């Protein structure tokens, strides 16, 4: 093993012991193995799925260190051949594929049948240190650790946008005003689409206008609201980024050509009969999307980093507030509150300025 600094025997981490029992404590450092490095985690974002894991659904086993949107610096390597990675900055693709199933053999790693996952199936990024396979590292140089941690939701948003096959001049409606929804809006706008964003809060719709989207109030009169905003009863492409029965049915009722399902389902999905008829009689394309491409030919992560470095997207604008790891309760309370947030970030060496 080669290293560039002293490695402690323990790491501070946010360890989920049971639903509702998130503890800031010391955990034992894991040993490096062949093909891995030790990442000194610098930043990790709170995802809405983290809120559900901590307070509603739990993780796949307890205890689990949560967090899957993270970046850091390589401070130790197991193999001499990876010595050149020491000191490098990297974001982390959080999915750990089996490399053996049919999907993996086609480099469709997000579709792996037997994957592991940082922050839900194994310990993740809300920790001072984490052992990570070299394969999962996405190196960067010109951006902050916080921006790099946002590569995960950005790659998910870009992947969904690509699946829609947007053409310049297309009309796009996004239902959902979370981080992914806004990112999809930015990507679609950059592709030349006219972007409408449906939300329930005045603050969210004002932010949508800030990004150049046309706001649509998502209430019981959303069809009329959309027609008033667009002059059309139906929109070419609708992105559903909530995952609720109501939102999915609303999306189907407003789509002219296709619907892109992005939101994780909150419950069993029940379709209104009329909406099912719309799928049949309007021959709607219903497209599912999950995670991101991370292959040698299709790689959303490298595409996102390239866009950031070219200033085509400004992810730093998405960071609402940065907390130190020990301030986790205040950070999670902020995300759970009714306050408008896009991304609340934890910084392992304190909630100070970005590096």
Interval 150-186: pLDDT, tens:
999 999 999 999 999 999 999 999 999 999 999 999 9
* Confidence band, pLDDT 50/70/90 cuts, at residue 338: confident
Q: Are residues 161 and 278 in the same domain?
A: yes
The reply to whether 98 and 205 lie within a common domain is no
Question: Is 248 among the domain residues?
Answer: yes
Q: Per the structure block, which two tokens stand in for 130?
A: 């984490």
137 with 177, same domain? no
- pLDDT at residue 221, rounded to an integer: 97
> Which CATH number covers residue 247?
3.40.50.720
Shared domain check, 120 and 35: yes
Residues 63 and 185 reside in one and the same domain:
no
Domain for residue 193, yes or no?
A: yes
Q: Is residue 208 part of a domain?
A: yes
Predicted local confidence at residue 349, as pLDDT: 80
Most confident of the ranges 188-192, 314-318, 349-353? 188-192
Shared domain check, 203 and 114 = no
Distance (Å, rounded) from C-alpha 37 to C-alpha 28? Answer: 16
Residues 111, 162 share a domain: no
Its pTM stands at 0.96
In this structure, the answer to whether residues 90 and 173 fall within a common structural domain is: no
User: Is the same domain home to 19 and 95?
Assistant: yes
Position 328 in a domain: yes
pLDDT at 355 (0 to 100): 39
Count of domains observed in the chain: 2
Secondary structure (3-state) at 289: coil
Phi, psi of 262 (to 5 degrees): -120, -35
SS3 108: coil
Decide if pLDDT at 350 tops 90. Answer: no
More confident residue, 309 or 43: 43
Q: Is the pLDDT of residue 209 over 90?
A: yes
Q: Is residue 152 included in any domain, yes or no?
A: no
* C-beta of residue 326 within 8 angstroms of C-beta of residue 118: no
The answer to whether residue 199 sits within a structural domain is yes
Whether 12 and 84 share a structural domain:
yes
Final residue in a domain of this structure, among 243, 272, 288: 288
Structural domain of residue 73, as residue ranges?
2-141+314-347
Confidence category of residue 204, pLDDT binned at 50, 70, 90: very high
For the segment 199-210, the average pLDDT, to the nearest whole number, is: 96
Same domain, 16 and 117: yes
Mean of per-residue pLDDT scores for the chain? 96
Looking at the fold, whether 128 and 8 belong to one and the same domain comes out as yes
pLDDT at residue number 352: 45
Q: At what angle do helices 222-230 and 245-254 cross, to 10 degrees?
A: 40
Q: Classify residue 228: in a domain, yes or no.
A: yes
Position 27 confidence tier, pLDDT thresholds 50, 70, 90: very high
């Amino acid at each position: 093993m080669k290293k560039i600094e002293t490695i402690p025997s323990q790491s501070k981490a946010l360890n989920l012991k049971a639903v509702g029992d998130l503890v800031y404590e010391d955990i034992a450092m894991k040993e490096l193995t062949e093909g891995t490095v030790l990442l000194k985690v610098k930043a990790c974002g709170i995802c809405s799925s983290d809120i559900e894991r901590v307070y509603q659904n739990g993780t796949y086993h307890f205890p689990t260190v949560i967090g899957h949107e993270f970046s850091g610096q390589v401070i130790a390597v197991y193999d001499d051949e990876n010595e050149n990675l020491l000191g490098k900055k990297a974001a982390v693709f959080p999915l750990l594929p089996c490399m053996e199933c049919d999907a993996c053999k086609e480099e469709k790693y997000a579709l792996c049948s037997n994957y592991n996952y940082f922050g839900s199936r194994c310990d993740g990024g809300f920790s001072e240190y984490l052992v990570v396979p070299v394969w999962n590292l996405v190196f960067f140089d010109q951006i902050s650790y916080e921006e790099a941690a946002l590569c995960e939701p950005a790659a998910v948003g870009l992947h969904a946008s690509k699946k829609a096959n947007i053409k310049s001049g297309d009309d796009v409606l996004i239902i959902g005003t979370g981080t992914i929804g806004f990112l999809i809006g930015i990507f679609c706008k950059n592709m030349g689409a006219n972007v409408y964003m449906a939300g329930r809060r005045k603050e969210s719709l004002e932010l949508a206008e800030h990004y150049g989207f046309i706001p649509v109030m998502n209430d019981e009169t959303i069809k009329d609201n959309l027609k008033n905003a667009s002059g059309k009863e139906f929109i070419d492409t609708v992105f559903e980024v909530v995952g609720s029965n109501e939102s999915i049915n609303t999306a189907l009722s407003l789509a002219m050509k296709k619907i892109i399902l992005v939101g994780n389902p909150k419950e069993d999905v029940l379709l209104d009969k009329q909406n099912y008829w719309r799928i049949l009689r309007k021959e709607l394309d219903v497209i599912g999307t999950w995670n991101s491409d991370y292959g040698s030919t299709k790689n959303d992560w490298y595409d996102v980093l390239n866009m950031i470095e070219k200033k085509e997207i400004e992810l730093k604008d998405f960071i609402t507030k940065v907390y130190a790891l020990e301030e986790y309760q205040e950070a999670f309370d902020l995300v759970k509150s009714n306050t408008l947030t896009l991304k609340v970030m934890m910084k392992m060496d304190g909630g100070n300025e970005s590096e």
